Amino acid sequence: MQHRALPLRRNPECSPNLQENHGTRVLAALSGGVDSAVATALLVEAGYEVIAISMLLAGSTEGHVGSCCSIDDFQDARRVAEQLGIPYYVLNLKEAFQTRVIDVFTQEYQHGRTPNPCLLCNRDLKFDLLWQRARELDATYVATGHYARIGWDEATRTAHLLRGVDPYKDQSYFLFTLNQAQLKRTLFPVGHLTKEQVRTKAHALDLRVAEKPESQDICFVPDGNYARFLERRIASDRVISGEIVDQAGQVLGSHAGIHRFTIGQRRGLGLGGLTQPHYVTHIDPASGRVTVGTQEQLKRHGLRAKDVNWVSGDQPDSVQVAAKIRYRQDPIAATVSVTTSTTAEVWFQEASPAITPGQAVVFYDGDLVLGGGWIEGPLP
């Protein structure tokens, strides 16, 4: 697919126009990591009046080390803000994070889906509650350290969401829910940089987090053991255990709960004596049945998507796109057919493995994010 050239006028985050930015207040989300630290520093350099905010999301913050809400991260964020000479606050969003992210995360597994908490957190916290706080503080923009870009098309007066310049770090997948109103008040100051450039900038500014390692996994499950995390939250009598069956319905074994499985999963099935690798192809929450099959049997030609968002605000009838059905995946050529104002069918040019309900499908045209939706289920 051709890279569409956009007449981009505004890229406010890297605007050198100090005069113009002076006195414009920005609420910058500062996590304690290097990306948001550099994002915040760039805004300060660009002349904005920046207020740094960390979000307290999970845990009691006591003895909670090595994940995004550890005391050490807040301490790092605070020190970066001090270094940049800007005010710093920690917002208590634990309650919202619990109900809108962790509870949903748990329920989704119980429905046989594989949720994406980062997407939920972006949609409901960073670009909703944080914006509410921005208005409380009279701020014009909310800024984050996401690797994505925002462009402005003066002719159509439309804001565009674009991939980050760094192909390995691009996080536009996690931002497909953004609408025009949100894009117009959002800044992604590191979207035009590579990770390496971000680290170089951090060193140049002597930021204490310059060499901080990447955060991995889901922030509230620091050890990556989802099954254990979920089992602490699901009452034992509500665990949905059942049979493992093959494509013909023949029972191959049993399992201790559907929350332990995701579509395309190969490990942890506990099946012996099979001639070729088997993957989870279907999870049925009603019967508790987990179906497995070969890689070929995992493939589907399309998917149904719900809560579909079109970033430009204009909904097409049908459009050729490059679709990503999970974050770490090369886009695949597909046709999106809009079925209702919030749903769509996505048909792939070639069958693709592991359509995972609960994850997002995001539609691209080159670097441009057209929109996306939540995967409801596969089409044959």
Partner 1 sequence: MQQIYLDYNATTPIRPEVVEAMLPYFSGTFGNPSSVHWAGRQAKQALEMARDQVAELIGARSSEILFTSGGTESNNLALHGVLKPRRATPFRVVTTPIEHSSVLKTVKALGTDVTSVEMVTLAVNGQGRVSPSALEAALTPDTALVSIGLANHEIGTLQPIRELSPMIRERAIPFHVDAVQAAGKISVDVNQLGVDILSLSAHKIYGPKGIGALYVRQGTTLSAVFHGGPQERGKRPGTENVAAAVGFGCAAQLCAQDIESTHPCLIHLITRLWDGIQQHIPDVVRHTPTQACLPNTLNVGFAGASGEGLMMGLDLAGVAVSTGSACAAGSVEPSHVLLAVGCDEAGAKSAIRFSAGRETTEEDIEAVIRILPGIVERVRKAGRSG
Measured CA distances, 95 to 19, 133, 253 (Å) = 40, 15, 40
d(CA 100, CA 133): 17
**Least Cβ distance, residue 128 to partner 1 (angstroms):** 7
What strands, in cross-sheet order, belong to the sheet with 141-143?
88-92, 49-56, 25-29, 141-143, 186-187
**Least Cβ distance, residue 54 to partner 1 (angstroms):** 7
Residue (128 or 153) nearer to partner 1, CB = 128
Work out which of 16, 87, 224, 253 binds partner 1, going by CB under 8 A.
87
Q: Is 69 one of the annotated active-site residues of the chain? A: no
Residue 347 and residue 320 in contact, taking contact as beta carbons nearer than 8 Å: no
Residue (81 or 311) nearer to partner 1, CB = 81
Work out which of 8, 71, 104, 239 binds partner 1, going by CB under 8 A.
71
Residue (87 or 270) nearer to partner 1, CB = 87
Taking CB under 8 A as the rule, does residue 338 contact partner 1? no
Residues 215-234 that bind partner 1 (CB under 8 A): none
Structure tokens at 323: 């679709």
For residue 293, which of 307, 310, 309, 281 has the smallest C-alpha distance? 281
Structure tokens at 120: 């939920």
Residue 180 and residue 313 in contact, taking contact as beta carbons nearer than 8 Å: yes
The values of phi and psi at residue 124, to 5°, are -95, -25
Contact string 284-323 vs partner 1 (x = CB under 8 A): ----------------------------------------
Residues 12-51 that bind partner 1 (CB under 8 A): 51
Taking CB under 8 A as the rule, does residue 90 contact partner 1? yes
Alpha helix locations (H) across the chain?
18-21, 34-45, 71-84, 94-97, 103-110, 117-121, 130-136, 180-184, 195-204, 226-231, 295-298
Work out which of 6, 11, 45, 89 binds partner 1, going by CB under 8 A.
89
Work out which of 6, 14, 56, 227 binds partner 1, going by CB under 8 A.
56
Work out which of 11, 24, 45, 78 binds partner 1, going by CB under 8 A.
78
d(CA 15, CA 172): 21
**Least Cβ distance, residue 332 to partner 1 (angstroms):** 37
Q: Is 14 one of the annotated active-site residues of the chain? A: no
Taking CB under 8 A as the rule, does residue 133 contact partner 1? yes
- The total number of residues shown for the chain amounts to 380
Taking CB under 8 A as the rule, does residue 127 contact partner 1? no
Taking CB under 8 A as the rule, does residue 54 contact partner 1? yes
Q: Which positions lie near partner 1, rule CB under 8 A?
A: 51, 54, 56, 61-62, 69, 71, 74, 78, 87, 89-92, 128-129, 131-133, 135-138
